[in-house]
């Protein structure tokens, strides 16, 4: 608060001094200063796509980075948390609520959630901690020059699909047919499915596209793969994440080794995951929020990409599937769950 008051005093001095000149340049107040002038702390609207328990590590990383940058919830900022619990139909409702609350910045993750926030406001800055293909799905104009009111971090979901499939192929030498399951109501998932199918063709693999839209589609979809697929690639989104335990259990019962981008699935019993480290991404999202609260426009903050990736293997699941993971493969993993 002391720092904010110092900035206000400095602006007043500049204003008084400028009265002696012929023209007065407009004063651009940082969002934090404007919010405090309105009689409230600058507010972050945090839209969680799933649940607090699933995102607890992400929230902790985000808050820790904000504290390092001098922002403390309840002291000089306020954070309004809202949780969609895996229901994409909740995104628009939550985004509209944030607009009514006149929050100073919206933070979320996942393409569908960002699209809902972007449709709700073209004024309030939006920071995505993770989005699969922000250019391909139209969230930003380009990575270097986002334009508009949206910026954040890409998780390269479509770019990494081929590498994930290659890892699955390595651990299952007899892999010939792979099922690709995803929520086709998600624009980013459709892009990922297409990318994985293209990668499979280069590896000489046959693909089976398993399209789901609701929780009710998941169980019969996986059970329909019996005798038709040697492995299962799951495109992650909030619908899949919410149902990660049932997906993992069903895949094991159908003897399907699974490859996924998100470590929470491996903790729930899936075989492997390879993808960006999400706590790291959410921590870095704190830097974006800091810049915006200090006056930088989202359009001027380039979208960044992951710098830390995790490769996780569930050895207990491998044994349940009758797979022997070579030691040379295990040592490449960042974590082995036993």
| Mean pLDDT within 314-324 | 95
Please, are residues 280 and 313 in contact by the beta-carbon 8 Å criterion?
no
Instruction: List pLDDT tens digits, range 189-215.
Output: 998 999 999 999 999 999 999 999 999
| Mean pLDDT within 110-130 | 96
Does domain 2-155+280-303 fall under CATH 3.40.50.10150? My reply is no
- Note the pLDDT of residue 20: 38
Instruction: List pLDDT tens digits, range 33-54.
Output: 444 444 589 999 999 999 999 8
Report the CATH fold assignment for 157-276+310-337.
Answer: Rossmann fold (3.40.50)
C-alpha 56/C-alpha 60 separation (Å) is 6
How crowded is residue 331: how many other Cβ atoms within 10 Å of its Cβ?
8
Looking at 37-41, 154-158, 279-283, which range is the least confident one? 37-41
289: pLDDT strictly greater than 60 = yes
The reported pTM is 0.80
What rounded mean pLDDT belongs to the chain?
Answer: 88
- Give residue limits of the domains in the chain: 2-155+280-303, 157-276+310-337
């Amino acid at each position: 608060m002391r720092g904010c008051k110092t900035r206000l005093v400095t602006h007043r001095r500049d204003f008084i001094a400028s009265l002696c000149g012929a023209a007065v340049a407009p004063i651009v107040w940082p969002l934090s200063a404007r919010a405090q002038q309105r009689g409230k702390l600058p507010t972050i609207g945090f839209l969680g796509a799933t649940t607090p328990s699933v995102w607890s590590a992400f929230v902790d990383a985000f808050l820790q980075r904000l504290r390092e940058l001098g922002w403390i919830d309840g002291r000089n900022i306020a954070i309004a948390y809202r949780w969609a619990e895996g229901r994409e139909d909740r995104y628009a409702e939550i985004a509209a609520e944030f607009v009514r609350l006149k929050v100073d910045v919206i933070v979320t993750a996942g393409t569908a959630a960002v699209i809902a926030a972007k449709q709700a406001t073209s004024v309030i800055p939006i920071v995505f901690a993770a989005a699969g293909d922000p250019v391909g799905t139209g969230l930003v104009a380009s990575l270097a020059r986002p334009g508009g009111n949206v910026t954040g971090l890409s998780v390269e979901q479509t770019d990494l699909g081929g590498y994930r499939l290659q890892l699955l192929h390595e651990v299952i030498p007899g892999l010939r047919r792979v099922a690709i399951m995803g929520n086709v109501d998600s624009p980013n998932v459709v892009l990922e499915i297409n990318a994985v199918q293209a990668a499979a063709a280069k590896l000489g693999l046959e693909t089976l596209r398993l399209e789901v839209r609701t929780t009710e589609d998941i169980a019969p979809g996986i059970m329909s793969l019996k005798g038709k697929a040697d492995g299962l690639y799951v495109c992650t989104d909030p619908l899949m994440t919410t149902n990660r335990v049932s997906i993992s259990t069903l895949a094991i019962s159908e003897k399907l080794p699974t490859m996924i981008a998100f470590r929470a699935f491996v903790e729930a019993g899936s075989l492997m995951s390879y993808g960006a480290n999400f706590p790291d991404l959410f921590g870095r999202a704190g830097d974006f929020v800091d810049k915006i609260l200090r006056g930088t426009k989202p359009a001027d903050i380039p979208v960044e990409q992951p710098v830390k990736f995790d490769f996780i293997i569930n050895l207990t699941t491998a044994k349940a599937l009758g797979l022997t993971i070579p030691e040379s493969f295990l040592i490449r993993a960042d974590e082995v769950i036993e």
